[in-house]
Amino acid sequence: MDLALFGRYFLDFALLYPSAFLCLASLWEKLRTPRRTACIAAGCITLLCIGCAALCAVFGLNSNSLLPAIVLVSFWLLRWRVTPEVTVSQTAFLFSISAVMMAVCSLLSTLLNAQTEISNP
C-alpha cells in the first residue's frame, strides 16, 4: 500500500472531524452524555478515516463512493446519542448543515490543490 496515497485519502476523510463537532456543538445540551459522545465521535471518525483510506488506497476506490454509507451511519449514530425530545427532522436539519460545511471544505480543498494535482504523477 502506498503511504502517500493512504495519507491523501485519510486527509480527504478527515474533513469529518470539523463537520461532526459542528453538528455536536449545536446539539450539545440535547446529547445524552455530551463529553462521552464527543469521545465516541472522535474515536469512530478516526477508525472510519483509517479504514476508508485503506480501502481507497488498496482497491483504488474514489473517496466519494464511500460517502453515502458514511452519511447513513453517521446520522444513525447521531440519532442514537441525542435525547428523545429532539425530532428526526431537527436532527436531519442540523446534520445537513454539517454535511454542507464538509462539502464546501472539500470543494475548497480540491480547488486550492488543483494545480498541484494536475502536475502530480
27 vs 111, which has greater pLDDT?
Answer: 27
Q: Which residue has the cell 459522545?
A: 37
36 C-beta neighbours (distance < 10 Å), count: 11
User: By percentage, how much of the chain surpasses pLDDT 70?
Assistant: 94
Q: Cα separation of 42 and 46, whole Å? A: 6
Spatial neighbors of 120 by CB under 8 A, at least 6 apart, are: none
Q: What is the pLDDT of residues 23-65, one digit of tens each?
A: 899 889 999 999 999 999 999 999 999 999 999 999 988 888 8
Virtual torsion, Cα 26, 28, 29, 31, nearest 10 deg = 120
For the chain, report the end-to-end CA distance as a whole number of angstroms.
17
Check residue 117 and give its pLDDT.
Answer: 64
pLDDT reading at 113 higher than 80: no
